[in-house]
């Protein structure tokens, strides 16, 4: 198959932070609007909430082109994989799914297979896709989702593989159509990209420069969600606490929380926060705004100052603990969760012990824990690493034991108490059970088969507290 290469990824350009970023007003040309009529699509989504939000836009664009969501992903006319590059095992899953799709394409040669998201933004991944996965028709990245109709059109027209991966600062796409997955909870992007350049992390290269949406656009989006019956928004960004810095105004993330609280939305959550940029205004907003939920994901990565420095996290154990204390004081009962990496290059047992100490001192009620994964092109990839894989797995195991005890303790404090649950739907936990999340983001199952409760906030009395969830009874 011949290739049409409109642009290839380039890590040097991806590192650049020079230009102003444009805001692009979404529009679709009429000639693309009928391309998908009578055809089906499926989008596989991997990685973070940013990717989930992008997939909602991708689905919106495809439906505007006339495509309908298919029942079986492996028999659809267009199949897209929205990929994640954060760790090697995230990428390995995707190579695996691609293997399955190869068989599906043999059965149905007209199937259009596309790869998008963070993986194509890496030079090596795109090279491998081109060399080894010749059945992939379409490759595009995180910066050009709005080119999707054009790229599909070209792939149909020329029967060639189409590659367009743009590196660099990126842009802000406004007013693109979205097919939201939920009718009561919504993702709302408030900013894109990341300028932190933690030494282990690929995201600043795959997502471009930090760029904030205008506050008016964000507030208007949340107001519209309220009108449409939405109860909860999760504000998204790789570092939401840096909101507004790139706009050069004094309006910060804390100000945005106060303004969004006035829209009438019942619940506001946000992710992810960088500890260095979490300021008092944000903490005060969490304390004072009724809609901002008493829960925070505050990734720490390590409890050792030397490792934190090598990671370029720009805070110390002591500074992190000060913010935790301030949060606990301002928002009594707040549930704090985190992300932790073990086995960063040459991490000693003593340094790992400092992480365990921090986990004990904070009293996390949950954590995503990872073994460090080398990402080509990042500064940490060049660091010497003499710790064996076995030792890293052992550290992860010891850390997880502590973290899991924190999950359980965090749930036990709600035993025999009433919690407010936004109902998501039927529970996979057994017949006649429904579930949702409490204000502190605790998954809660309760006995009911009343589907009209979906999207409503109900009061549940907790009767059992397990490690991963609560069980309770509906209060009349
Ligand atoms: N922007 C967010 C996190 C994005 S990535 C933040 O800074 O909090 C989610 C998590 O993946 C990170 O918090 C980190 O714990 C983990 N992670 C990122 N790069 C990694 C790598 N190379 N190896 C292992 N874990 C990694
Ligand atoms: Fe990656 Fe650090 Fe940015 Fe988070 S803040 S996305 S870990 S570079
Ligand atoms: Fe993965 Fe990209 Fe998100 S690398 S974690 S999908 S920003």
What is the structure's pLDDT at 368? 98
**Residue 238 Cβ contacting ligand 1 at under 6 Å:** yes
Structure tokens at 448: 């009911």
**Residue 168 Cβ contacting ligand 2 at under 6 Å:** no
Residue nearest to atom 5 of ligand 2 (CA): 196
The model's confidence at residue 430, banded by pLDDT at 50, 70 and 90, is confident
- 91-139 pLDDT tens trace: 999 999 999 999 999 999 999 999 999 999 999 999 999 999 999 999 9
Whether this prediction's pTM lies above 0.85 is answered by yes
| Ligand 1 atom closest to the CA of 201, numbered from 1 | 19
Give the integer Cα–Cα distance in Å for 415 and 458: 17
Could you tell me the distance, in angstroms and rounded to a whole number, from the CA of residue 86 to the centre of ligand 1?
7
Could you tell me the distance, in angstroms and rounded to a whole number, from the CA of residue 416 to the centre of ligand 3?
39
Q: What is the DSSP string of 149-212?
A: HHHHHHHHHH-SEEEE---SS--EEES-----S-SSEEEEE-EE------TT--HHHHH-S-EE
Residue nearest to atom 7 of ligand 3 (CA): 203
What is the structure's pLDDT at 5? 85
Could you tell me the distance, in angstroms and rounded to a whole number, from the CA of residue 48 to the centre of ligand 3?
5
**Residue 51 Cβ contacting ligand 1 at under 6 Å:** no
Nearest 5°: CA angle at 60, between 230 and 91?
Answer: 100
- 286-330 pLDDT tens trace: 999 999 999 999 999 999 999 999 999 999 999 999 999 999 999
Q: Which residues have C-beta within 8 Å of that of residue 23, sequence separation ≥ 6?
A: 171, 172, 173, 174, 214
Residue nearest to atom 1 of ligand 3 (CA): 84
Please give the C-alpha separations between residue 337 and each of 295, 304, 306, 362, in angstroms, as whole numbers.
Answer: 8, 18, 22, 9
If DSSP codes are grouped into helix, strand and coil, which group holds residue 67? coil
Structure tokens at 188: 């709302």
The model's confidence at residue 3, banded by pLDDT at 50, 70 and 90, is confident
Q: What is the DSSP string of 319-360?
A: HHHHHHHHHHHHSTT-EEEEEEEE--TT--HHHHHHHHHHHH
Radius of gyration of the chain (CA): 23
Q: Residue 355 half-sphere exposure, CB side, CA atoms within 13 Å?
A: 30
Ligand approaching nearest to the C-alpha of 194: 2
Q: Residues 180-207: what's their mean pLDDT?
A: 97
Report the share of the chain in percent with pLDDT over 70.
100
Tell me which H or E stretch contains 369: strand 367-371
What is the structure's pLDDT at 20? 84
Give the integer Cα–Cα distance in Å for 299 and 339: 4
Q: Residues 349-375: what's their mean pLDDT?
A: 98
Ligand 1 site-directed mutation target among 189, 198, 201, 340, most atoms within 8 Å of CB = 201
If DSSP codes are grouped into helix, strand and coil, which group holds residue 450? coil
Residue nearest to atom 2 of ligand 2 (CA): 198
| Ligand 2 atom closest to the CA of 195, numbered from 1 | 3
| Ligand 1 atom closest to the CA of 373, numbered from 1 | 23
**Residue 337 Cβ contacting ligand 1 at under 6 Å:** no
**Residue 206 Cβ contacting ligand 1 at under 6 Å:** no
What is the structure's pLDDT at 68? 98
Tell me which H or E stretch contains 100: helix 88-107
Q: Residues 167-179: what's their mean pLDDT?
A: 94
**Residue 202 Cβ contacting ligand 2 at under 6 Å:** no
Does 1 have pLDDT greater than 90?
A: no
Ligand 1 site-directed mutation target among 51, 52, 86, most atoms within 8 Å of CB = 86
- 38-65 pLDDT tens trace: 999 999 999 999 999 999 999 999 999 9
The model's confidence at residue 2, banded by pLDDT at 50, 70 and 90, is confident
Q: Residues 359-377: what's their mean pLDDT?
A: 97
**Residue 331 Cβ contacting ligand 2 at under 6 Å:** no
Give the integer Cα–Cα distance in Å for 86 and 64: 31
Q: What is the DSSP string of 377-446?
A: TSGGGGS-----HHHHHHHHHHHHHHHHHHHHHHHHTTTTSEEEEEEEEE-TTSTTEEEEEETT--EEEE
Ligand 3 site-directed mutation target among 43, 51, 170, most atoms within 8 Å of CB = 51
Q: Residues 456-469: what's their mean pLDDT?
A: 98
What is the structure's pLDDT at 225? 98
What is the structure's pLDDT at 18? 82
Ligand approaching nearest to the C-alpha of 86: 3
Does 31 have pLDDT greater than 80?
A: yes
If DSSP codes are grouped into helix, strand and coil, which group holds residue 22? coil
As beta bridge partners, residue 436 has 423, 444
**Residue 341 Cβ contacting ligand 2 at under 6 Å:** no
**Residue 203 Cβ contacting ligand 2 at under 6 Å:** yes
Backbone angles phi, psi at 364, to 5 degrees: -60, 145
What is the structure's pLDDT at 212? 97
Could you tell me the distance, in angstroms and rounded to a whole number, from the CA of residue 300 to the centre of ligand 1?
10
Terminal C-alpha separation, the chain: 64
Q: Is 296 left (phi over 0), alpha (psi -120 to 50) or beta?
A: beta
What is the structure's pLDDT at 87? 97
Does 81 have pLDDT greater than 80?
A: yes
As beta bridge partners, residue 460 has 419, 474
The size of the chain, in residues, is 476
Give the integer Cα–Cα distance in Å for 262 and 249: 21
What is the structure's pLDDT at 409? 98
| Ligand 1 atom closest to the CA of 239, numbered from 1 | 1
Ligand approaching nearest to the C-alpha of 378: 1
């Amino acid at each position: 198959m011949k290739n049409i290469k409109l642009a290839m990824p380039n890590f040097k350009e991806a590192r650049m932070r020079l230009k102003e970023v444009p805001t692009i007003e979404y529009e679709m040309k009429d000639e693309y609007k009928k391309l998908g009529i009578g055809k089906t699509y499926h989008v596989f989504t991997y990685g973070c909430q940013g990717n989930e939000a992008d997939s909602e836009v991708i689905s919106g664009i495809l439906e505007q082109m006339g495509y309908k969501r298919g029942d079986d992903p492996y028999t659809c006319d267009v199949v897209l994989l929205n990929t994640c590059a954060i760790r090697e095992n995230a990428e390995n899953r995707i190579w695996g799914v691609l293997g399955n799709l190869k068989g599906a394409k043999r059965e149905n040669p007209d199937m259009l297979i596309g790869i998008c998201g963070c993986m194509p933004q890496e030079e090596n991944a795109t090279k491998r896709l081109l060399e080894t996965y010749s059945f992939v028709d379409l490759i595009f990245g995180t910066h050009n989702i709005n080119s999707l109709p054009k790229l599909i059109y070209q792939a149909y027209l020329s029967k060639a593989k189409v590659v367009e991966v743009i590196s660099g600062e990126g842009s802000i796409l406004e007013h693109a159509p979205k097919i939201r997955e939920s009718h009561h909870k919504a993702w709302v992007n408030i900013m894109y990209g990341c300028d932190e350049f933690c030494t282990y992390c690929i995201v600043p290269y795959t997502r471009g420069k930090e760029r904030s949406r205008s506050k008016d656009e964000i507030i208007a989006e949340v107001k519209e969600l309220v009108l449409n019956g939405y109860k909860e928004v999760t504000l998204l960004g790789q570092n939401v606490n840096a909101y507004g810095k790139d706009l050069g105004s004094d309006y910060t993330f804390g100000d945005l929380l106060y303004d969004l609280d006035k829209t009438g939305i019942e619940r506001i959550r946000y992710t992810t926060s960088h500890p260095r940029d979490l300021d008092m205004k944000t903490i005060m907003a969490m304390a004072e705004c009724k809609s901002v939920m008493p829960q925070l994901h505050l990734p720490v990565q390590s409890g050792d100052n030397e490792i934190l420095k090598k990671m370029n996290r720009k805070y110390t154990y002591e500074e992190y603990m000060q913010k935790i204390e301030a949060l606990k004081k301002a928002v009594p009962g707040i549930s704090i969760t985190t992300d932790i990496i073990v086995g960063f290059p040459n991490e000693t047992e003593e340094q790992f012990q400092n992480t365990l100490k921090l986990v004990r001192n904070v009293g996390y009620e949950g954590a995503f824990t990872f073994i460090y994964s080398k990402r080509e092109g990042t500064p940490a990839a060049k660091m010497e690493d003499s710790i064996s894989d076995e030792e890293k797995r052992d550290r992860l195991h010891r850390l997880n034991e502590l973290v899991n005890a924190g999950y359980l303790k965090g749930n036990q404090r709600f035993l025999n108490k009433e919690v407010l649950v936004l109902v998501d739907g039927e529970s996979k936990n057994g017949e006649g059970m429904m579930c949702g999340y409490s204000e502190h983001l605790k998954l809660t199952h309760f006995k009911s088969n009343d589907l009209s409760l979906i999207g409503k906030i109900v009061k549940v009395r907790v009767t059992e507290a397990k490690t991963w969830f609560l069980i309770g009874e509906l209060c009349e």
